[in-house]
Structure 1
Amino acid sequence: MDYKEARAYLDEAGKTGSILGLESMRALLKELGDPQDALKFIHIAGTNGKGSVLAYLSTILKEAGYRVGRYISPTLFSYRERIQVNEEYITREALAEHTTCIRDAAARLKAAGKPQPTVFEIETALAFLYFVQEKCDIVVLETGMGGDTDATNAVQTTVLEVLVSISRDHMQFLGNTLAEIAAHKAGIIKPGTAVVSARQEPEAMQVIRETAAQQRAKLCIADVVKATDVSCGLWRQSFSYGGYKDLEIHLAGTCQIENAVVAVEAVRALNSLGFKITEGQLRAGLSKTVWRGRFTVLNEKPLFIIDGAHNRGAAEQLKASIETYLKGRRIIAICGVLRDKEYEAVLKTVAPYIKEMITIETPDNPRALPAEKLAEIAGKYIPEVHAAGSIAEAAAESIAKAEREDGVILAFGSLSFLGALAGEAEKVTANGVNSNKINCGGEMPVRCRG
């Protein structure tokens, strides 16, 4: 297959949906020669912060001279964004080559009466094949959903597991309590490994401690409460932690201090395992990390921010960021969600800060909630709400309003529409720039609350 044919095959596979469990994933990997066994992994699970911590660790390891594979989902700007080596996307040629190999393996499995892989399983196997081909020293791997039955958990050569903040999400699959959800997430912990966890709610923390003990894994807690000298800003944030003074990051959002603390603790664990990461490399990696879609500034005038807040925990983090960075500003929101998310809980959390909202329907997704239905729900909490006919219409209208009223545009909800929205916003604004290109110097930081 060429690239176009490979993408068509993957799109068709995506129509079957998701199936939890490792049977078909293990069968596919075995048919492919178990490429994952030739790799070493840092495996990340949790509800909010997986991608940010992955970005920090990947960049730090790259700065330390390692060849680093990244596997992430969902993506915002390119399909190939989900599979990267040292921040370079998988090539079209490699994607087509490995997808052809997987298609043929799936055909053999079908002929043998074995289960067919889902698109996420295909993409995960594709990533493993590519990382072996590219001779990666280490792969930073993000779970898709949960942990124990997630396709990524077919790996057995993990050196470090990382558990970011755990909250209620995907409850129809993972359970209704934090303890049940944490049990699934902690299912990635392998015997005798090292584990770094963010400080969790007590019931989740207990499950993680018990699981680590059962697996005889060494557990370390990354506790953001121990961070000192914390300063926050839209362009630059800094903190001290674990013996390191004045570490600097350029990702906005109050949650990024916690995510960076988790990354620092993970680096300390990696050094104890024999990796060689100096303080200078740690500092450079933190400072250079880019992660788009999480309280990311797209444009400065008018201020246009996108954030993938689509569950309770992320909504609380977004609320804290609004209070820290946007207090007193008139906020014009753009929101699009999937119908199987707790969108009403998200709306209730951030509604007190929003004067006006434009709703959209996330494109090309059968799980998308119609814009009119979302507007109906949002209207219970927000004074002015209406549905837009398209993402382009929402971008143009919000920018015009913000310019007239000296407002701030805040787009949040499903990550699946933020990439398209960013593209439309750049078309509208003559000075549209990505956050990593904005001059980070000269801003007076503010003290973070708490």
Structure 2
Amino acid sequence: MDRTYEKALEIIDSRKRVRRPNAACSSRASLLPNLPVGSGTSGLRGMPSLVGMAEWLQPVGHSADDINALNIIHVAGTKGKGSTCAFAESFLRAHGRRTGYPAKTGLYTSPHLICPEERIRLDGRTIDRERFARYFFEIFDRLPQLHSPYDSSLPVVQRGPRNLQLYALLAFHTFIREKVDMVVLETHSGGEYDATNVVERPLVTAITTLGMDHVVTLGPGMENIAWHKAGIFKSGAVALSTVQADDTDRTVEGVLHGRAEAKGQVVRFVAEDERLPTGARQLQPRVQRKNASLGLAAAEAWLEARGKPRELSANDVQAAVEQWSWPGRFKVVHDAGISGCTWYLDAAHNEMSVAIAAQWFAAETAAASAMPTSSLESGEGSARILIFSHINELRDSVALLASLATALRDCQAEIGHVIFTKYATIKPGEDKADWRPSLEAEKLHATWQKCQPGTRIWDESSIGAAVARARDIVKFSTCSAGQVLVTGSQHLVGPVLEILQS
């Protein structure tokens, strides 16, 4: 068989679930007999991703003890998970560079922005494609289920891992083969039944900011979502959480306390850490200080659990922040092809996140623009453009856009042009399709115009066409500069960033 990187991706992609089942799987109860009543778990559809993980790890050659020996920091939450994981890894990598331990770090996050191998990092660097393919086919050789097309009618273990389960297996296998000293592990969704929760004895567990997201599978309310996320808490593992902004009688924090106590732990809520450097661009906007503080607390708790000095040095903290980067979050790119055009990219994909993205865009553009937004089309100031796309059966794209439009309006960030697009990545020169706006697109138009009625709206059938449209608007505008906000999904931000960097 062809054992290239491309072939590995072909097999992984072939195991994507086409769509979630409409109803809860009737066989769940036999596989998960301890399914609690009244916890919100009835919202789950289909088989929980945790089912089968232990059974697939065994033929690959890894026991529960092998996974536990990775010395894991496990992170769940609604927003800020990737940033928090990257901060925790960066703090420990900086500490290891100074002291010699940890000598080698691993980081697993999901989803990827541009390339699938971004999900698995060693010492802060994406693994190379040769190792990605080599380790994948080592798994392939040991799991005969992967040799046949995915068949959802078979029992779970016999059908083999789905797409995300396979990525998690590949990450565990890579970290074990590479003999890392520690791993920071991000959940995919939820926590209790997430594929990554096959870890029985992490050293540290951490919960980032929680909000209303994945309601269909984790809801219906915040307490249900908190219950799922806190499923990563384990006996013997430090339990941390960022300070939760909950307006309903501290319900969320109460759930986290209860779930930690059930494991014999006391959850510690982490406030903003004053040791973080001021003025660092990596800690902008302010929410990143919150994520960094939780990452710092997790790193120090990990060192304490390993019997090492608890507190990182001031130099460790400074160096970790300076070396930290996270693609697709609060990213500013100056367009090399269009003079004066600046792109602001953030992969926000829920209502909490797009509101923060709007605030960040407003603050950044206000600082960069000498003229007020009222001069948008007057020959001065900047042409402000939004590129938006969000396609997800579990979220309401119209509600997401409404939150974004309202937040931009409240921040006085008036948008001159909005470009709606699909996730298609056809290059503009190859794009011959005539995309007629669907009913969904018409709803997006109406939602936007309700908040900012003076905006010119465009529909483009591919991401490449949307980028070309934005560049043309700036190029032929009478304004002196262009400011383009790209948000709504990683599936949008990744391809746009790839175009800009090409």
Q: Scaled by the length of structure 2, what TM-score is found?
A: 0.75
Offset at 1:386? Answer: 1.7
Give the aligned partner of residue 212 of structure 1. Answer: 260
Give the aligned partner of residue 399 of structure 2. Answer: 345
Offset at 1:109? Answer: 9.3
**Distance between the aligned counterparts of 2:283 and 2:436, measured in 1?**
30
Give the aligned partner of residue 377 of structure 2. Answer: none
The answer as to whether partners of 2:201 and 2:236 remain within 8 angstroms in 1 is no
Give yes or no for the alignment of 1:20 onto 2:92: no
Q: What's the CA shift string for 1:27-61, capped at 9, x where partnerless?
A: 11122232423311111100110011111111111
Give yes or no for the alignment of 1:309 onto 2:322: no
Of 299-308 and 56-65, more deviation after overlay is shown by 299-308
Give the aligned partner of residue 94 of structure 1. Answer: 131
Give the aligned partner of residue 468 of structure 2. Answer: 396
Give the aligned partner of residue 363 of structure 2. Answer: 324
For structure 1, the 5+ residue unaligned runs are 225-240, 428-450
Code of the residue aligned with 1:261 in structure 2: it is: S
Identity across the alignment (%)? 26
The answer as to whether partners of 1:252 and 1:296 remain within 8 angstroms in 2 is no
Code of the residue aligned with 2:482 in structure 1: it is: G
Give the aligned partner of residue 409 of structure 1. Answer: 484
Closer/same/farther in 2, CA of residues 402 and 295 from structure 1, 3 Å limit: farther
> SS at the partner of 2:73?
strand
Offset at 1:15? Answer: 4.6
**Distance between the aligned counterparts of 1:117 and 1:358, measured in 2?**
37
Closer/same/farther in 2, CA of residues 376 and 339 from structure 1, 3 Å limit: farther
Aligned residue runs from structure 1 range 184-263, under 5 A: 184-200=228-244, 201=246, 202-224=250-272, 241-242=273-274, 246=278, 248-263=280-295
Offset at 1:371? Answer: 8.6
**Distance between the aligned counterparts of 1:158 and 1:393, measured in 2?**
45
> SS at the partner of 2:166?
helix
Give the aligned partner of residue 154 of structure 1. Answer: 198
Give the aligned partner of residue 142 of structure 2. Answer: 105
Q: What's the CA shift string for 1:117-147, capped at 9, x where partnerless?
A: 1111111111111101111111010100110
Code of the residue aligned with 1:128 in structure 2: it is: F
| Cα RMSD for the two superposed structures | 2.5
Offset at 1:425? Answer: 2.9
**Distance between the aligned counterparts of 2:458 and 2:474, measured in 1?**
16
Give the aligned partner of residue 49 of structure 1. Answer: 80
Of 215-224 and 141-150, more deviation after overlay is shown by 215-224
Give the aligned partner of residue 208 of structure 2. Answer: 164
**Distance between the aligned counterparts of 2:425 and 2:385, measured in 1?**
25
Offset at 1:267? Answer: 3.2
Find the structure with the greater CA-based Rg.
2
> SS at the partner of 2:203?
strand
Give yes or no for the alignment of 1:144 onto 2:188: yes
> SS at the partner of 1:7?
helix
> SS at the partner of 2:267?
strand
Give yes or no for the alignment of 1:10 onto 2:4: no
**Distance between the aligned counterparts of 1:92 and 1:424, measured in 2?**
21
**Distance between the aligned counterparts of 1:9 and 1:245, measured in 2?**
44
Give yes or no for the alignment of 1:421 onto 2:480: no
Residue in structure 2 matching 1:357, options 418, 421, 424: 418
> SS at the partner of 1:99?
helix
The answer as to whether partners of 1:16 and 1:118 remain within 8 angstroms in 2 is no
**Distance between the aligned counterparts of 2:349 and 2:436, measured in 1?**
15
Q: What's the CA shift string for 1:273-297, capped at 9, x where partnerless?
A: 3344322112210121001111210
Flag the structure with higher strand content. Answer: 1
Closer/same/farther in 2, CA of residues 297 and 246 from structure 1, 3 Å limit: closer
Q: What's the CA shift string for 1:47-86, capped at 9, x where partnerless?
A: 1100111111111111111211011111112111111101
Code of the residue aligned with 1:394 in structure 2: it is: A
Code of the residue aligned with 1:320 in structure 2: it is: Q
Offset at 1:320? Answer: 2.6
Offset at 1:242? Answer: 4.4
Of 56-65 and 96-105, more deviation after overlay is shown by 96-105
> SS at the partner of 1:136?
coil
**Distance between the aligned counterparts of 2:279 and 2:192, measured in 1?**
34
Give yes or no for the alignment of 1:279 onto 2:314: yes
**Distance between the aligned counterparts of 2:222 and 2:108, measured in 1?**
26
> SS at the partner of 2:442?
helix
Give yes or no for the alignment of 1:372 onto 2:372: no
Code of the residue aligned with 1:169 in structure 2: it is: D
Give yes or no for the alignment of 1:61 onto 2:54: no
The answer as to whether partners of 1:148 and 1:184 remain within 8 angstroms in 2 is yes
Offset at 1:243? Answer: 5.3
> How many pairs were matched up?
407
> SS at the partner of 2:211?
coil
**Distance between the aligned counterparts of 1:364 and 1:209, measured in 2?**
45
Q: Scaled by the length of structure 1, what TM-score is found?
A: 0.84
Code of the residue aligned with 1:213 in structure 2: it is: E
Q: What's the CA shift string for 1:393-422, capped at 9, x where partnerless?
A: 211221232353233100001101212111
